[in-house]
Amino acid sequence: MIVALALGLALLIQAFLIKPYQIPSGSMEPTLDIGQRVLVNRFIYHFDEPAPGDVVVFHPPSGVSRNGPECGVQTKPGQACPEATEGESPDTFIKRIVAGPGDTVAVRDGIPVVNGSPRPPDGYEIIPCGPGGQGCNLPEPITVPDGHYFVMGDNRGQSDDSRFWGPLPEESLIGKAFGTYWPPNRIGGL
């Protein structure tokens, strides 16, 4: 009976409160390495709004596919995707919020330019765009729609993110990553 109760409690905690995730790609390097494990607070956004700087786990729009990202509308040259495709992918991604609803966003050398001002990393590191990196210069601004967030990976030249498939609907957010627990030499907060 005690084992069943403990198992049930563990499942409830994962379903509603805190869930572990493993980092599948290098898009969040140097903040998170491939194979590193994070804990995600699944209920925080019931009480607080997502904000720029938050590292979030989410289901990307259905335009994310193995054949490459797909924008929901035709884009102008030098412009990030302004609108995601309808629906939600079953995949799980982790990225950093760089802009919120109503913000205008352009990208210069991999740095988001939000409401006309560059938003360089504040309290975290990025891997800047290298020569020829995709999506590193998108000078034509877009406006993030209400209820959406613009997310980017910290490895700016190697991340499949909002630049390519559009702003993320808030309802696609699973939660905010708040700590790492594996490997032992990387245990800590985010």
Residue type (1 letter), 159: S
Count, residues in the chain? 190
The token pair at 164 is 């390519």
CA atoms within 13 A on the CB side of 112: 30
Query: CA-CA distance, 25 to 80, in Å (whole number)?
Result: 22
Are the C-beta atoms of 151 and 96 separated by less than 8 Å? yes
Query: CA-CA distance, 162 to 97, in Å (whole number)?
Result: 10
Quick check: helix, strand or coil at residue 119? Answer: coil
Q: Nearest Cα to 20, choosing from 40, 41, 49?
A: 40
Query: CA-CA distance, 183 to 107, in Å (whole number)?
Result: 33
Query: CA-CA distance, 77 to 85, in Å (whole number)?
Result: 19
Residues serving a catalytic function are 27, 95
Are the C-beta atoms of 136 and 158 separated by less than 8 Å? no
